Amino acid sequence: MIDLEKTKAPLVAAVVQLSSQADVDENLARAEHWIAEAARAGAQLVALPENFAFMGEEVDKCRIAEPLTPPFGLIGSTIVRAATRAGVFVVAGGMPEKSGDQTRPFNTSVLFSPEGHLLARYRKVHLFDVDLPDGTKLEESRGTSSGSPADLPVTELLGLGLGMTVCYDLRFPEIFRALESRGARVVTVPAAFTLTTGKDHWHTLLRARAIENQIFVLAPGQTGKHPRGRQTYGKSLIVDPWGDVLAQVGEGEGFAIARLDPAYQDKVRQALPCLSHKRL
C-alpha cells in the first residue's frame, strides 16, 4: 500500500503518441526523440504507447523479445538511455519480454527511473482476441503469454502511487479498482486501440475508469496504419479524477502534457467520497 499522506507536490506528466512500424531501430529513435521533447516541455514522467518498439509479424516479435534483467537488450537499454539523458521517469508502455514459452513472450509495460533503474513491470493480463465487424481479426493470445492477475504493482513516484495496465485491460474495471485499493493515484493505459473500437469506446472507457476510481489516467496510444493491416485510433490523452480531459494529442505523432495535482484529487475525493462507500 502507498502512504497517501506523503502525497504533496503536483506531477507533470506527458503521453507520447507514435505510429510504430516493423523497423525496431526507427521506432526506438522516434521514442527517444519524443521522450526528449516532452522532457524539454517540463515533463517529469513520460509514458510511451503499447508496441512502441515494434508492430509487425509475430515471428519477428518473438525474435526481438528480450529479458528485463540488466544488462538490458536493445529495447530496454535504449529506454534507459532516453530516461537518463532526459532526466525523467519513463513508462515504456508495452514491449515483448521473454517468457518460458519461446513462441509467446509477455507484453510488458516497464517503469524506469531517471537514473535508469527498473522500478516496476506489469505483464499484460487481458489479451485481445476478437473478430471485429470491419473484418479485423486479432488473436493476441496465440503469440503472447498472459501475466498473472495477482501481479499488479503500484509504485511510489514523487509521492504519487502509480499503477500500470495495458490496452485491453481498460475494458475490465476490476483491475483499476484493485490498483486504486493498493494506493494508485495515477494509472497508465498504454494502448494500440483499433480504429473501429477507438472511435466509439476510447474516450468513454478512459473517462469512466478515471471517474470510478477518482484517479488520473495517462493513455498514450498508437495512431495510423501499421503492418498486417492494422489501423489504430490515436487520440492519446490525460484524464483527471473528475473525468475531464486535461490534454490530448491530435493527428500523427506527438505528445500531450498536463499537471497532475494531488490537492485537486483530494478535493474530488472529499466532495464525492464514493471510494469510502465501497461495499465489495
Domain with residue 120: its CATH number is: 3.60.110.10
Is 173 domain-assigned? yes
List, for residues 116-154, the tens digit of each pLDDT value. Answer: 999 999 999 999 888 877 667 778 888 899 999 999 999
Strands 45-47 and 11-17: parallel
Report yes or no: 214 and 265 within 8 Å, Cβ to Cβ.
Answer: yes
Is 197 domain-assigned? yes
Strands 129-131 and 137-139: antiparallel
List, for residues 211-225, the tens digit of each pLDDT value. Answer: 999 999 999 999 999
Is 280 domain-assigned? no
The residue among 80, 86, 71 whose CA lies nearest residue 28 is: 80
Could you give the number of structural domains in the chain?
1
* pTM higher than 0.85: yes
Q: pLDDT band at 204, cuts 50/70/90?
A: very high
Is 241 domain-assigned? yes
Is 232 domain-assigned? yes
Catalytic residues: 50, 124, 167
Taking 70 as the threshold, does the pLDDT of residue 1 lie above it? no
Mean pLDDT (the chain) is: 94
pLDDT of residue 171: 97
Is 278 domain-assigned? no
Is 251 domain-assigned? yes
Is 237 domain-assigned? yes
Q: pLDDT band at 3, cuts 50/70/90?
A: low
State the CB neighbour count (10 A cutoff) for residue 280. Answer: 4
Domain extent at residue 206: 4-273
pLDDT of residue 259: 98
- Residue corresponding to grid cell 493476441: 140
What is the share, in percent, of the chain residues with pLDDT greater than 90? Answer: 88
Read off the amino acid at residue 103. Answer: T
List, for residues 24-80, the tens digit of each pLDDT value. Answer: 999 999 999 999 999 999 999 999 999 999 999 888 999 999 999 989 999 999 999
Q: Which positions ≥6 away from 96 have C-beta within 8 Å?
A: 53, 54, 61, 62, 64, 65, 66, 75, 105, 106, 107, 108
What is the share, in percent, of the chain residues with pLDDT greater than 70? Answer: 96
Q: pLDDT band at 6, cuts 50/70/90?
A: low
Taking 80 as the threshold, does the pLDDT of residue 254 lie above it? yes
